[in-house]
Structure 1
């Protein structure tokens, strides 16, 4: 009598987790009904290639094969905002002490980090209709265009009535694509990202000098008017 072989059914990823293209597993402590104003979640990963650094962030999901971008709060190159974490066991010299190293080795890299997830910033609204955002991993700027470690866990937010929002299609709306070539961010300047994942400056530092110039022109104009008025007042009347 031949033995009956039963094949185990595939295991679907539970809510709050996803499997990557090379078997990486990404899990988020909470992925639905989050506070739109911001909520800190724990993100864990396993099965990552430790030779490739990744960003852990919250970004617009642009679909399979495309880099998730822009990211709410930007990709944090300073390590100060809490909006993202850079994980790398072999970062460039400027990343030493900033990037968090993997646990494990080879293709068994692990990490556990915490990031703050919020619905929107000055450039991106993840609660808008038609916008899907996710907690993601993606290869860092040293490997632009390499999607081998892009993994997504979709996130939804609670609205005023207590239900969830932000679970539309993966195609971003106009509110998301307005800064689609950048990482998002608060609009205060800093690093943005080009299509290949490399970093570039925003040029938004021009705002302050322009403001100062405007204030200076107003001051000069006011001073000239007062000077002319004093001259007219002090001039002797004709006899």
Structure 2
């Protein structure tokens, strides 16, 4: 008669399987951060308009990125007279769909080599749990990332990863709050690489904005 497998022989395989289930997601998250190399600058040129509703930049990676803003109803907005609680639809195209971006109102840095910020709303915190597909979630800052692992933490996916198209829905926060002061400082509606590539400036594109006090 054959003997049933010993418990001592089985439990190491159970532990190994559990560790694999734990380590694989960690590797998916950590490895891209550790191995990312900067793609350079966005090379955004200053617009002839003081308050443009669209901006285009040709990055060092060869991509042409376009960032646009509109009101919730699709009409033009006065970016020189924003108010707290106003809803703004931000759209982008030409972005690197393999790399996540933050979308928020941020303080304009002194030079293009510096990371924009601080930003109103801080780190994006929109929740994805039990949210139906197509649901619009308004927040002071949005996080766009197509990677399934990051979407578990609240990121929105790109509308089209291959073309780098996205839509973000900003409900403007306090322009002079704890996160950022956009009354004293010059600010803009920005896109910038998320925390997986903080030192990479190639997706820094912005539209200057101003708040009504």
* Secondary structure at the counterpart of residue 157 of structure 1: coil
**More contact order relative to length (CA 8 Å, sep ≥ 6):** 2
Give structure 2 stretches of 5+ with no counterpart. Answer: 1-46, 71-76, 128-136
* Larger displacement relative to structure 2 (146-155 or 80-89): 80-89
**Distance in structure 1 (CA, Å) of the matches to 2:158 and 2:124:** 18
The answer for unaligned runs of 5 or more in structure 1 is 1-10, 160-239
Closer/same/farther in 2, CA of residues 23 and 86 from structure 1, 3 Å limit: same
Question: Which of the pair has more CA radius of gyration?
Answer: 1
After superposition, the Cα gap between the structure-2 partners of 1:124 and 1:43, relative to the gap in structure 1 and judged at 3 Å, is same
1:34 aligns with 2:85: no
Instruction: Report the aligned-residue RMSD.
Output: 2.3
Correspondence for 2:53: 16
Instruction: Give yes or no for contact 2:53–2:69 (8 Å, CA) kept in 1.
Output: yes
Q: Secondary structure at the match of 2:94?
A: strand
Q: Does the 8 Å contact 1:75/1:83 carry over to 2?
A: no
The Cα of 1:105 is off from its aligned counterpart by 3.4
SS at match of 1:120: coil
Contact 1:46/1:110, CA 8 A, preserved across alignment? yes
1:212-232 per-residue CA deviation (whole Å, 9 max, x = no partner) reads: xxxxxxxxxxxxxxxxxxxxx
- TM-score by length of structure 2 reads 0.60
- After TM superposition, give the deviation of residue 78 of structure 1 in Å: 4.6
- Could you say what secondary structure the match of 2:177 adopts? coil
Picking from 47, 70, 74, the partner of 2:118 is 70
Q: 1:44 aligns with which of 72, 84, 91?
A: 91
Normalised to the residue count of structure 1, the TM-score between the two structures is: 0.54
Counterpart of 2:164 (choices 109, 113, 131) is 109
- Runs of 4+ aligned structure 1 residues displaced above 3 Å come to 11-14, 77-81
Distance 1:18 1:141 in 2: 23
